[in-house]
Structure 1
Amino acid sequence: MGAGLIGGLYDGYYPYQKLKQHGDFGLGAPDKLDGELVVFQGKVYQTQNTGKTFLVDDRQLTSFAMVNFFQPDKKYTVSSTLTKESLFHFLDSVLTNVNGLYAIHINGKFSYLKTRAFPPVKEHDHTPLASMLNLQHFFEFNDAQGDLIGYRLPSFMDNTNISGYHFHFLSAQKNAGGHIIDLKADSITIEIDQLDSYSVQVPATTDFEHFDFKKNRAEDIKSVERGKEGK
């Protein structure tokens, strides 16, 4: 669950092989972090904190992931230059249900991308993710081509997941990626899949059983999503 990951539940418990039975598109976090995950066209890729990006071993585990079988309802082509802010503004204009769940695939050319990945942690290390922001590794790309895989989730999804926009990048060569921090898009195609349900697999672990979900982690979630503390 989103709040669990933010609060320090990093140990993997769900194998990628089973995850792919529930979707061919999505994002998540690897076992004990060490980067970011992307699920795209039925394959799972990990971008480590070194920037190395590769197909994962199906027997390995994820600590958090959201996936769906991507079946786009709408498609848009945008040829003008968009910043991250203007891209989200455009998406807001077409994703009219403020309480809707949307899976979003963006493919095209980006004059600039900035991504991040967290380093690995030791087993049962529950340091909150917001306290590890100084350990992030950032990656910058110019004139890149590839895919953004992500979601826009409503406010009522907080704690279970992360509300708002959340995107991970996968380069066209499948050798670079990470969580999106900033971007400038030049020519992109946007595909939208509006979802009508959400199922949760509850971890059967001792750490999860004793985790404090009552704590308000809203500010931590925002900081981790932005990649920095403060507003």
Structure 2
Amino acid sequence: MQYKKILIMLKPYKYFSLLIICIFMALQGMAQQKTKPLNTHGGNLFSAGFAAGFIGGLYDAFYPYKQLLKQGDFGLGAPGKLDGELLLLNGKLYQTQATGKTTQLIDTGKTPYAVVCFFQPKKVYKRTGELTKAGLFSYLDSLLTNTNGIYAIHIKGKFRLVKTRAFPPVEKPYLPLAAMLDRQHFFNHTDIDGDLVGFRTPAFMEGSFITGYHFHFLSADKANGGHMIDVITQDITVEIDLLNSYTMQLPQTTDFNNFDFKKDRKDDIKSVENGKKQ
């Protein structure tokens, strides 16, 4: 009706009236666009904390879980004072302690280190038959063809074996993680269903992130989990999300301000990832 009224009013000015209508419709479309919420989720890997700093002993929690959940619904990390391992799946946080106990967390705590994203898988693959850890990583390499891509990876299904670990809580003065490998608690889960949540980050992100593959595990019954040390898959579904940016929140603490970042911690990170001295 609005357009008809305008046409009648501007009939003597045929071409001018068409111009006015076009402008009117364009402005109306812009107004409608402004009312639509922008999709700011997806595509970004967010880190609370700096990987090399955490590996080197920055275990004091500083970043609230409530804020972390605004940055992603998928990821992994550590609780304050190194009290086990964290996993974030479908917007829910889980903690696996050194006792093996795994529980869903409320969002009132804080973390010293976590990496998360809003998981929006673009590709899905199914794989049957057993794969060792080396075989799984080789299979993933065949799928993740962008050498310098930042990938979020969800692996769900049946596992012949998942070996996990968790550290017990520590008190100051903190030692680097690589100096506390003898304190790890290991758990062997056989013939188990569950989820691997993780990332593959490229070499140019070394230090600020843990590069290469990094996975945490959560059993289907949510009773077991931890950092993945070893695995033998059986029947799995692999979901992949290629991220295109990363951001980081750094601790504003005296310990971080005085931390020695000049030390090369590549071997320490490898030792911690694999659960043994490299």
TM-score, length basis structure 1: 0.98
**Structure 1: stretches of 5+ with no match in the other structure:** none
Task: Name the counterpart of 1:148.
Answer: 196
RMSD: 0.7
Give 1:77's match in structure 2, choosing from 121, 126, 129: 126
Amino acid at match of 1:112: L
Moved over 2 A (4+): none
**Structure 2: stretches of 5+ with no match in the other structure:** 1-49
TM-score, length basis structure 2: 0.81
Task: Name the counterpart of 1:210.
Answer: 258
Structure 1 position 57, deviation (Å): 2.6
Give 1:9's match in structure 2, choosing from 58, 62, 66: 58
Question: Pairwise mapping of residues 125-140 of structure 1 onto structure 2 (< 5 A)?
Answer: 125-140=173-188
* Structure with the largest fraction of helix: 2
Residue-by-residue CA offset, 1:136-186 (whole Å, 9 max, x unaligned): 000001110000000000011111110000000000011110000001100
Give 2:81's match in structure 1, choosing from 32, 53, 58: 32
Q: SS of the counterpart of 2:81?
A: coil
Task: Name the counterpart of 2:272.
Answer: 224
Structure 1 position 202, deviation (Å): 1.2
For residues 173 and 146 of structure 2, the distance between their equivalents in structure 1, rounded to whole angstroms, comes to: 39
Q: Which has the higher contact order (CA 8 A, sep 6+)?
A: 1
Q: Is the 8 A contact 1:10 1:125 kept in 2?
A: no
Answer with 1 or 2: which has the greater Rg: 2
Residue-by-residue CA offset, 1:74-131 (whole Å, 9 max, x unaligned): 1000011111110000000110111110000000000111000011011x43200000
Task: Name the counterpart of 2:98.
Answer: 49
Q: Is the 8 A contact 1:116 1:136 kept in 2?
A: yes
